[in-house]
Structure 1
C-alpha cells in the first residue's frame, strides 16, 4: 500500500467581479430602484397645492372674491381640478351657489353665475329668544302662526308651514350667550316660488316663526 501523502489543496483564486457578473448587475439595479423610490416618496410627500377655503360661511347668492377667501396648502393626490386653485385667477362676478362652511375647501361646483341662484333674501323679525345655532348657513323652516280672532274667545288657528329648508343668510342682532335675543332680525333665502306665501304671512296680523332644523348651524 502506498504511503505517499495526499497533495495539498490548492486555494481557489478570487476573481474581481466584473459588469458581466449577473449578481453585481442585480445589486446595482436594486440600489438604484431603492434610491429612485425614496426620492419619489419624499418629493410626493412635500408636494402641495394652494387652494381657496371659505373665510367665513358663504351663502347662496353671495358675491365671492378673494376678500371672502383664504389660502391653504393641501396635498391632494387626485381631483385637484375639482377645487378653486389659489395660484390661478379667480373668475370675476361669481357667487356662491350653495352654503360653503367656514374653512371648507371651495369646490368649483359651489361657485357660479348669479342667474343660477333662484332665491331671494327676506327679513324675518324674531319675536322670541332663539338658539345661537341659528347662524349664517344654518337651515331653518318658516311657519305661519295666526293671531287669535279679535273680540272672540275662539282659539287661533293652528300654525302651518310656509317653507322648509331655507338658508339663513344673515343675523342682524345676535345676542350673547346661548340665545339670539328677542328683537333680532334674520335674513333668510327663500326660493322664488315660495316668496308670495312668505310675504303674505309677514303682512298678516299673525307672526312668522323661524324653526331651526336639528343638526344645522354651529
Structure 2
C-alpha cells in the first residue's frame, strides 16, 4: 500500500449546531408562520363581518310609499364602499319615503330607489282589459301597452294595433270574479311617465281595445 495514502489526515466529523435565535433562516420561518396566522385571523374576521340592510318584502313600484311593512332587515356581507349604494338598516326608514323605481321582491333596496314625492315624474293609470292578461302580468313586472282601434264601417279598413308605451311597471292587478254577464272587469294599473300620458289617456277615451303584454323575464 502506498505510504502516502496512509499519511493523509483523517477527516474530522462536522457536528450539527442548533440554530440560534439570530439565525436568518429561523427568523424567516417565524415571520412566515406569524404572517399566516395573522392572515387567517383577518380572513375569519372579514367573513363574520356583516351589516344590516333593508330588503324588499314584495316588489316595490314607483309611487309607492315605503313603510316598515314593505321591507325586512337582513345581515349581509358587503365589500368596501358598497354599503353606501343600499338602504342601511342601521338608520330608520326616511320619513315620507317614496319608491322612485322598481325594486324586485327579496332584493336589497338601493339607496337611489327611494326619494320623495317631488322626485316622481310618473303617474299610475288603470288600464281596463277586455281580455285576461297572462300570468306574467304581476306587480313589479314590466309590460307593453297596446291599443287596437274599434272596427270602422265596411268601407273603411280596420286600423292595425299600435303600441302606446313600452316597459311600464305594474303597480296593481285587479282580477274580479267573472260576473253573470261575462264581463271580467280586470284592470292593470301601470306607472306611466308624464310625457307618455297624452297618448295613453287618448286611447282610454277612444273606441277600441287595450292590452298589456308582459316583457319576458320580468314577472310571473
Q: Do both proteins adopt the same fold according to a TM-score greater than 0.5, normalized to the shorter chain?
A: yes
2:154 matched residue in structure 1? 153
- Tell me the SS of whatever aligns to 1:129: coil
Contiguous gaps of at least 5 residues in structure 2:
178-182
Tell me which stretches of 4 or more aligned residues in structure 1 moved more than 4 Å.
4-17
CA–CA separation in structure 1 for the residues paired with 2:111 and 2:48: 25
Residue by residue, what CA displacement relative to the aligned partner does 1:69-128 show, whole Å, maximum 9, x if unpaired? 112222122322211111223222222221100011111121122212111111111211
- Tell me the SS of whatever aligns to 1:145: strand
2:40 matched residue in structure 1? 38
How many Å apart are 1:206 and its aligned residue? 1.9
How many Å apart are 1:20 and its aligned residue? 2.5
1:127-166 maps to which residues of 2 (within 5 A)? 127-149=130-152, 152-154=153-155, 155-166=157-168
1:188 matched residue in structure 2? 190
Residue by residue, what CA displacement relative to the aligned partner does 1:128-161 show, whole Å, maximum 9, x if unpaired? 1221100112211222222123xx4244322222
Q: Do residues 110 (structure 1) and 128 (structure 2) align?
A: no
Of stretches 51-60 and 140-149 in structure 1, the one that deviates more from structure 2 is: 140-149
How many Å apart are 1:13 and its aligned residue? 6.5
- Which of 61, 64, 75 aligns to 2:63? It is 61
2:89 matched residue in structure 1? 86
1:178 matched residue in structure 2? none
Contact 2:57 2:70 in 1 (8 A): yes
- Which of 94, 98, 115 aligns to 1:95? It is 98
- CA-based RMSD: 2.7
- Tell me the SS of whatever aligns to 1:214: coil
Contact 1:124 1:208 in 2 (8 A): yes
Contact 1:128 1:183 in 2 (8 A): no
Contiguous gaps of at least 5 residues in structure 1:
176-180
2:79 matched residue in structure 1? 77
CA, structure 1 residues 28+128, in 2 after alignment: closer, same or farther (shift >3 Å)? same
